[in-house]
Structure formats: structure tokens, C-alpha cells
Structure 1
């Protein structure tokens, strides 16, 4: 599933392609959306905004399209007249004079009135968005210090979009590693210093991933590995999806553990219990 950094980059590209442009054709795969087609053609897309792992496309007539990519959804942008060559199921296509935006494979798509957006069942539960420029370090630290989360296991808590929105599986492993926190711990087990490190890592790595197109590793480590001829898979992350490889910090072997059916990756030396 795309995480916050990927959703923000997708929204950036959609804004460049669609915002301020007049819609001259539309495709909706679902009958629940087709009733809006005639109303939307000829309107200007106002903006495309990420919210957690969802995207809101505002059309300027008191209507906003909510879409959540879930596991397999993907937006693709092409010059007008060009269509992506793939086997995915097309769900939405928005066309203007110069560009076309195609949403494939997503199934969670709704048309909302603007006043309904904040009360949407997904959006109303979101915690502070880790990528949003108005989210401050104190906003994130306050979440880690909030008593209602104190008894939660960190590996579960970090995936809860009501805690902090935008974190997914790779960011979870990377945040825990960068903080030096073992994946078996609950929030209540952490010292004040560890809590501060968790909050710092949450912002630092999420925004680094957004800015670098998915790289969470330290820039100096990345550059050193590139000089050695390492592949992107080898230099992209500290621990995520690197089971059996050496830790970039200490040289020990990266391990994995399953929690909630999903793997968490960690260094037993850098993340002692």
C-alpha cells in the first residue's frame, strides 16, 4: 500500500496536470459516480489534496472526489491522447486539453459535497499528517505523549492512521530503527529520550522519503554505497526488506519478525530491548 510520501508525490503530480485546467472529458467505472459526469465536464479542477493515504480532488462546484488507493490503486498521468499500457482495471479518467489522469485498480472512490469531506468516516479519524508542512515537531511529540496511546504496542500504533497519518509498513520499520527502539516494545516501555527520538524520526524519515522519492537512509550512507556500485534496493532503507543483510550502522545482520501478519525489520544490536 502506498504510504504518505507516495500519496503526497502522487497528489503533487496530479496538481501539476489537473489543477486550474478545464475538464473536457471524464470516465467513471462505477454507476454511483457516473451521475456526476455531465455536471463536471466543463468545470475547472480547483486542487488535488492528500489526506493520510487518500486523495481529494476538488472540482469547484461544491463537489470533491475522495479516492483511496488501498493496496493496488495507482494514479498515472499521460499527455492527452496517450493511454497507459497495462492490465489494470481503469476506475477514473480525467482529461483536459493537455493531460490525462488515470486511476487504476482502486475501489474506494466516492463523490462528496465539500461540507461532507471533514465528516467522512476515514478523514474524520485521521491523526496529524506526517508530511503536511503545517504539522510541527510538537504536534508529533504530543501524540507520542498522549495517554490514550500509552499501552499500545509500537508496531501496531505506528500503522494506526488515527495516531499519525501517512505511516505504513516501510516507514514503521525505519522509524523504529532510527530511534533505536526494539519492535517488541509498547509505548509505555520507552524512556523520555526514546519518545523524543521516535517523534524526531517520524518527521525526519517521512519527509526525507517524500523529498527523495522513497529513500529513508542517511544521505552520506547512500552516497558511499552508490560509489561502491550498490543498487537502489541496497541503499534505499536502513532495515526494511533487508533480512540477512548487514546493518549500515553497525554491521550486524538485519532480522525480521511478523506482527499482525506483516513483517517488521530490525537490527538486534542497534535496537536492543
Structure 2
């Protein structure tokens, strides 16, 4: 399932074709939304943002279209009049200028206003988005020290979207590896230097995944693998999906564990228990 960086990239693609371009069609498959289509087509899109795995399209009249892809939903950008070949079911369509943004197979779609958006049940449970809400390393250090988070194991905490929105399973393994921390460590047991390093790794790893379309491995490590002719799946990550393979940093074999009911990968030497 896409994580925060992938959803942020989708939001950016949609924004390039929709923002401040006159709308010529707004269509929804759901009757409760279709009644608003005529009003929205007379407005315009002002921003396209994401919050965790939710995508938010804001219109000039104050309405916000909320969508969550869940397992099967996907936004596609294509030329007007040239729908992509797909077996997915069309749920929403916005046409602006020469481009169309089509939402397929998602079932969680609703309209809100800027004033009521925080009442949306999914968004109401989320912490700040690491790529949308201008989060700093200092913000993360402070949040790690809050009583509701400080006593929890990092392996579970990083997946909690109420802590920060946008971290999923591959990012969790990569962040903890770069921070040199085992997943059962708790924020309250870390030194100040360790909390600061973890905060920095959270930001830099998520930002790299955004810039490089999901790649989190260090350039020096992945370039060696690329020269050897390895596939993208083999050089994309530092530890994720690399169980029983040598750690790029120390050579020890990567372990696969189950933490918070999800698979996690770590180096036992670089991330000692």
C-alpha cells in the first residue's frame, strides 16, 4: 500500500493539472455527491494536499473533496477524452483544461468544508503530516516526550498515524535502521542525542522517499548494486525486504521480525536490542 511520500507525489501531480485551471466537468459516481457537481464545476481548485494516506482537493467556494484510496483506489491523470485502459471502476472525475483527473475503485469519498474537515472521522485521528504540515525535528523530539507516546515501543509507535501521519511499513524499518534503534526501544529510554537522531532520521528518510519515488537506500550503497545489474527492488531499500542479506553498513545478516503484527527488518549489529 502506498505510504505518505507516494500520496504526496500523487497530490503534486493532481495539483499541476487542476489548480487554478477552469473546470469543465465534475462528475461523481455517488448520488450524494453528484448533486454538488454543478456547483463545483463553477468553482475552481485552489489546492491539492494530502494528510497521511488521504487526499484533499480544496475548491474556491470552500468545499474540500476527501478521498482515501484504501487498498484498491488510485488517481490517474490523463489527457482529456483519453481515458486509461483499466478494469477499475470510475468513482470521480475532474476535467480542467486539457487534462483529466480520474479516481478509480476508491469507496471512501466525501465532501466537507474547510470548517468541518477536522470532523472527518479518519482525519480526526491523525497526527500531523510529515510532508504537508511543516513538521520540524524539534517538533518530533517534543512529541516523542509526550506521555501518550514516550512509553511505547518504537516499532508500534511509528505505525501509529496518531503520532505522525504518513509512515508505513517500509519507512518504519528504514527509519529505525538509520537511527540505529531496535523496534522495542521506547522514547523515554532514549538519550536526548538518540531522540534527536531519531527525529532527524524520520524527516530525512520520509523526505528522501518523496524526492526519489520511494527509494530510501543511500546513494553509495545502491549505486554499487546498480553497477552489478540488480533490479530496483534489490537496491531500493537499506534493510526492508532484505532478510538474510548482508547489511550495507556492517555485513551482518538482516533479520525479519513481526512487530505490531507487521513485518519489520533490522540489522542485529547496527540496531542491538
User: Aligned to 1:208, what secondary structure does the other structure show?
Assistant: helix
Larger displacement relative to structure 2 (261-270 or 126-135): 126-135
Within-5 A mapping of 1:9-48: 9-48=9-48
- What's the CA shift string for 1:176-223, capped at 9, x where partnerless? 111111123333333333222211110010001111111111122222
Partners in 2 of 1:250 and 1:19 — Cα distance? Answer: 47
TM-score by length of 2: 0.94
Tell me the alpha carbon deviations over residues 213-263 of structure 1, each in whole angstroms, 9 at most, x when there is no partner: 111111222222222222211111111112222211112221111233321
* Structure 2 partner of 1:268: 268
SS at match of 2:91: strand
Give the Cα separation in 1 of the matches to 2:26 and 2:182. 49
Query: Is residue 222 of structure 2 the alignment partner of residue 227 of structure 1?
Result: no
- 4+ long deviations beyond 6 Å: none
Task: Say whether the 8 Å CA contact 1:80–1:98 is kept in structure 2.
Answer: yes
Q: How many residues align?
A: 273
Q: Retained in 2: the 8 A contact 1:143–1:164?
A: no
Aligned to 1:192: 192
How many angstroms apart in 2 are the aligned matches of 1:148 and 1:70? 27
* C-alpha deviation, 1:121, in angstroms: 2.6
The equivalent of 1:108 in structure 2 is 108
2:162 is matched with: 162
Please say if 1:127 is aligned against 2:124: no
1:135-214 matches, cutoff 5 A: 135-214=135-214
Length-normalised TM-score, structure 1: 0.94
Q: What are structure 2's unaligned runs of at least 5 residues?
A: none
Contact kept, 8 Å, 1:88 with 1:105, in 2: the verdict is yes
Please state whether the residue corresponding to 1:122 is helix, strand or coil.
helix
- CA–CA distance in structure 2, aligned partners of residues 165 and 96 of structure 1: 30
Over aligned residue pairs, what C-alpha RMSD do you find? 1.6
Q: Distance in 2 between matches of 1:224 and 1:132?
A: 33
Work out whether residues 145 and 188 of structure 2, in 8 Å CA contact, stay in contact via their aligned partners in 1.
no
The alpha carbon displacement at 1:65 in A equals 0.4
Corresponding residue of 2:93:
93
Q: Give structure 1 stretches of 5+ with no counterpart.
A: none
